[in-house]
Structure 1
Amino acid sequence: MDEPSNPHSTSGENPEPSLPVAAEEEAEVNNPGENLPVLKWSRSSFETLMRDIQMPPEYGAIYPQEGDTAGDAPTRYVTMFADFFGVCNLRLPLTVFVAEVLEWYKLHISQHSSFGMIGVRNIEYTFRALGIEPIVGDFRRFYQLSVSMGFYSFRQRDHTLKLMVPPKGMMKLKTKFFYVKAAAITTKLQFRNVTEPIVTENISVPKADTVDWFPDLRIIGWVKWDNRQLWVLQMMLGRMSRNARPVVREKSGGKCLFPCTRLLTFLFLLLSFVNVLSEDAPLWRMFCPDFKGEVAILACADGEEGFNRTIRDNFRVPDQGSLEVVLPQGKWDPGALGDPAATGVPKQPVQKIGVKRFRKQKKPHELVVVPPLVP
């Protein structure tokens, strides 16, 4: 497999020859049948989403026409699903990590299932919160590529630590979509043929003796973040002032140990008010059940570089000139997007050659001891 420009593939390992993997029967509610489902969400909902996620106007996000499907994007536009930006915590521009995952697996972003995107972004914010650089090689330690009903996802590899449980009740995933300029998606956009065999990931599972970051790993489940939280996690370029920076602030102050006279109570409340959000906290504190703070926006000190400039290299920022090109009229070639007849390698041939199927099985496996969330 050709490597992307910066794949961060795992070094020092010699994986065994890869074998085909059976297609995953993904627990996805939507079944498009013979065709992709028709658009079914309102223009007002689309406009609200664009405001909420602070979609850059130069990316040319447009609402589809009545009767459109996800395969009807105009020429040089890309279909994006609303759930990418809701439950999946995705923002544009793409981070380098997301772009390199797409490049490694040779996936077009519109072929991506929302369930798969949740796993990608969960790995990213888990590692960012713990101060670990997210790379494709480590993502592959946890997840195996799969395909179902013409869309790609990732399933948990056997014997790996389960980092999250995806949310339930994600309905009509393929009916809520919109289009953005292809120039805004700064990866090599190519459709993967869903009949192409999927190979197993044979690299070692993450353990204390296989990766140096494992002692720092905490289980951080799926969480839906707002723009400030994604900004401080370096997963979004903020639209704030260039001279601003985000910081996690946690409440401080203790309980009053004196008799509750009116004067002492007043003084205690006054001191507590002064101490509220006065302590800076590490990013992982946001994931703790007892966290009562927030992400505050502070002005940069004299000579201090703004946060957007500091984290810019974590993103694939589109070229402004490419975004300004006048695009022709017409529809794109949707390739195999959502083709229900192409669901991966046929099941019977895979079973005959004895290939291990990646399904949940009740069998013993090695237990992994993970450090607690709060050290």
Structure 2
Amino acid sequence: MRFFRVSCTRLSFSFFYFTMAEPSNPHSTSTENPEPSSPVAAEEEAEVNAPGKNLPVLKWSRSSFETLMRDIQMPPEYGAIYPQEGDTVGDAPAGYVTMFADFFRDCNLRLTLTVFVAKVLEWYKLHISQLSPFGMIRVRNFEYTFRALGIEPIVGDFRRFYQLSVSMGFYSFRQQDHTPKLMVPPKGMTKWKTKFFFVLAASITEKLQFRNVTEPIITENISVPKADTVDWFPDLRIIGWVRLDNRQQWVLRMILGRMSSNARPVVREKGGDEAPLWRMFCPDFKGEVVTTCL
């Protein structure tokens, strides 16, 4: 079966929408036959210091933090705060959780979590602070790829493409063998453990749990996606990594919005015709995301 690759360019719009997460048991695939295995190494994190006594300390400026908060329009009720000098990712105050700046910059994360992100964390028994940006960027790329194509993203299909991995105490996902490569992470995600901040634990409404790093990782054994195993395969377009702004995430239903209930975002071509969401990612797209009233 043939794949259509859509090369990505940076797009620029701006606004806000998100879907309150209500975790439930993820979709399961009838063809799976998991077996325990030793923890799988995450290649991108191999050079990172082990957590514990030798965690790197904070190393990004307060002004960079404040700029990020403005750019992503972080709601004030989430209580995002800049750490104190000398803090590490393990020093979140009582009632707060650690977030990495790259989650919100390159990984396109916004709060609150979408149902899909919450279900991924729930399925793998991960707390969000245990997932590296290399893992988060794959989760969000999968979500916007499927939403852009009008396919509901579910954990069962995510598992067709990715295998949970762990290195130095943080979790990521590696590509499953014989599956189409959906994306390559940007090279700019370096020293991510030194660029973090804290948010109120109450802003993560899902009841996430911390996974013990000594717990064996289940090796996934799920059928490779193809035309005779999944009905969406013929529609799949590979949409690589791109940094999305708030309006783009709003139209993709990947963040919550604070706007009139009778407003909806749509993608329009340059001439004004409404277009499918995946057109945003095409190199020849000259249109925009606009707001219309129902």
TM-score, normalised with respect to structure 2: 0.88
Matches within 5 A, 1:42-81: 42-81=61-100
The structure with more strand, counted as a fraction of residues: 2
Matches within 5 A, 1:144-155: 144-155=163-174
d(CA) in 2 for partners of 1:209, 1:168 = 36
d(CA) in 2 for partners of 1:237, 1:169 = 27
> Which amino acid is 1:28 matched to?
E
Partner of 1:38: 57
Which residue, 220, 229, 250 being the options, matches 1:201? 220
Larger radius of gyration: 1
Matched, 1:26 2:50: no
Which residue, 283, 286, 290 being the options, matches 1:292? 286
Mean alpha-carbon deviation: is it higher for 48-57 or for 234-243?
A: 234-243
Partner of 1:267: none
Per-residue deviation, 1:75: 1.0
d(CA) in 1 for partners of 2:143, 2:168 = 26
Per-residue deviation, 1:241: 3.8
Q: Would you say the 8 A contact 2:46–2:167 is kept in 1? A: no
d(CA) in 1 for partners of 2:224, 2:44 = 24
Partner of 2:176: 157
d(CA) in 2 for partners of 1:124, 1:16 = 24
Closer/same/farther in 2, CA of residues 21 and 206 from structure 1, 3 Å limit: farther
Per-residue deviation, 1:44: 1.2
Deviating above 4 A after TM superposition, structure 1's stretches of 4 or more consecutive aligned residues are none
> Which amino acid is 2:45 matched to?
E
Matches within 5 A, 1:1-375: 5-10=24-29, 12-13=30-31, 15-28=32-45, 31-33=48-50, 34-252=53-271, 278-298=272-292, 300=293, 304=294
> Which amino acid is 2:228 matched to?
D
Structure 2 residues not aligned, in runs of 5+: 1-22
> Which amino acid is 1:45 matched to?
S
Higher RCO structure, 1 or 2 (CA under 8 Å, sep 6+): 2
Structure 1 residue matching 2:165: 3-state secondary structure: strand
> Which amino acid is 2:186 matched to?
P
Q: Would you say the 8 A contact 1:88–1:224 is kept in 2? A: yes
d(CA) in 2 for partners of 1:19, 1:29 = 22
Structure 2 residue matching 1:199: 3-state secondary structure: strand
Kindly, what percent of the aligned residue pairs are identical?
80
Closer/same/farther in 2, CA of residues 194 and 22 from structure 1, 3 Å limit: closer
TM-score, normalised with respect to structure 1: 0.69
> Which amino acid is 2:41 matched to?
E
The count of residues paired between Structure 1 and Structure 2 equals 270
